[in-house]
Amino acid sequence: METIRIFVEDLIQQIGITGNNIHLVRHIVLILVVALLAGITDVLFRRIITPIVDKISSRTSSNWSKVFFGKPVLIAACNIIPAIVVWKLLPLVFYQYPFAKEVVTRLTAIYITIATIHLFIVFINSLNLLDNGERTSVQQYIISFCGMLRIVVIFIGIIIVIGIAIGRSPLTLLAGLGATSAVLMLVFKDTIEGLVAGIRLTSADMMHVGDWITVPGTIADGTVIEMNLTTVKIQNFDNTIVTVSPMALVSGSFQNWKGMQAAAGRRVNRQVFFDFRSIHFVGDDHKETNMTQYRHAMEQYLAKCPWVNTDMSFLVRQKEATQSGLPLEFTFFINDKESINFEHYLARTMEYAYALAEQYGLKIYQQFPEQ
């Protein structure tokens, strides 16, 4: 830069400019030179280097190359490089004016810091490219950390900008935050708890996006569509959206139907109560009751139903007697796990069980409705 300055001064003198105008013209020309060099650097990286790197990364099958060298990340990086040129050269233009040199240095440093924060945020957002809809535990860890990383990056960036603006070391400012750590912990309490809960959910492989879950005590009964630091979004089967705190899921309990969806059938476990007075022997030999015949008939019916998975267990069994009658438990698996079809097949099977009971002289126990 010193060589350029001397060349500019000689050129100005050769043109014939003298007196105080020399300094003014020199500063203008040197500022234009710095702007020209920064512009050349910007064009070089945006028009030549960025397309080449982006083209190379797009040919690779790995998503990580798109994360590190994707076009949004490269464009964000291009905002920093010309600023570094200005930060290095422009203060040399004002070497005779210490105050102006200090102001220019700090302003360009603040811009570089902000541009760097933007680059990190773009990089963090690009981690979503790793989400293919069926998240592994590692992918879920990354997505869970993204929200916290954004907060940390922005917080550190603000500290650095303040330190540059007031001429103090950012480390000194960070050390002075010890007294306010309790306030920061209170402000980010939900975020920290959500992060810990999200880690526990993923580390124990409790839940992933796409799982069907049911949360007792809430109206949440549907598919997980989004998981972040503070909320888990669940789309119910009526297309309503329910949000649940990860901390509530970890501290409480919920039912994940993933195992059922991966199985060959969806289990049915229903009880029907029969009146004791309707149970009697069939035939004079007293070897069999109408209840026994009814159970065998229902098991034969289940074995012939096309929607029942006979490769899995199916059973009609008697349970312990109660004051409300004798319970029969129907246990079987329906092939079609889709909610609407499942409910139709379930209703069809149980309606047959209710109607068949009368043919065997059995009465289903029922109480009179309260008046």
Q: Does domain 206-258 have CATH number 3.20.20.450?
A: no
* pTM exceeding the 0.85 threshold for the entire prediction: no
Say which residues have a Cβ less than 8 Å from residue 317's Cβ, sequence separation at least 6: 295, 328, 329, 331
pLDDT reading at 207 higher than 60:
yes
Using 50, 70 and 90 to split pLDDT, how confident is the model at 369? very low
Helix (H) or strand (E) run with residue 326 in it? strand 326-334
Question: Which ranges constitute the DSSP H helices of the chain?
Answer: 2-15, 21-43, 50-58, 63-69, 71-78, 81-93, 98-126, 137-166, 170-175, 181-187, 189-203, 246-251, 258-262, 290-304, 339-359
Strands 315-318 and 221-227: unpaired
Identify the top-confidence range among 144-148, 203-207, 292-296. Answer: 292-296
pLDDT reading at 132 higher than 50:
yes
> If you compute the radius of gyration of the chain from its CA atoms, what whole number of angstroms results?
37
Tokens of 289: 């009751």
List the one residue out of 362, 354, 360, 298 whose CA is nearest residue 331: 298
Please tell me the predicted confidence (pLDDT) of residue 31.
Answer: 78
Q: What is the 3-state secondary structure (H, E, C) of 27-83?
A: HHHHHHHHHHHHHHHHHHHHHHHHHHHHHHHHCCCCHHHHHHHCHHHHHHHHCCHHH
Question: Which ranges constitute the DSSP H helices of 204-305?
Answer: 246-251, 258-262, 290-304
Q: Domain segments of the chain: what residues?
A: 2-197, 206-258, 263-359
Tokens of 113: 């810091």
At the top level of CATH, the class of 263-359 is alpha beta
* Tens-digit pLDDT profile for residues 326-361: 999 999 999 988 878 889 999 999 999 999 999 999
Please tell me the predicted confidence (pLDDT) of residue 138.
Answer: 56
Chain centroid to CA 149: 13
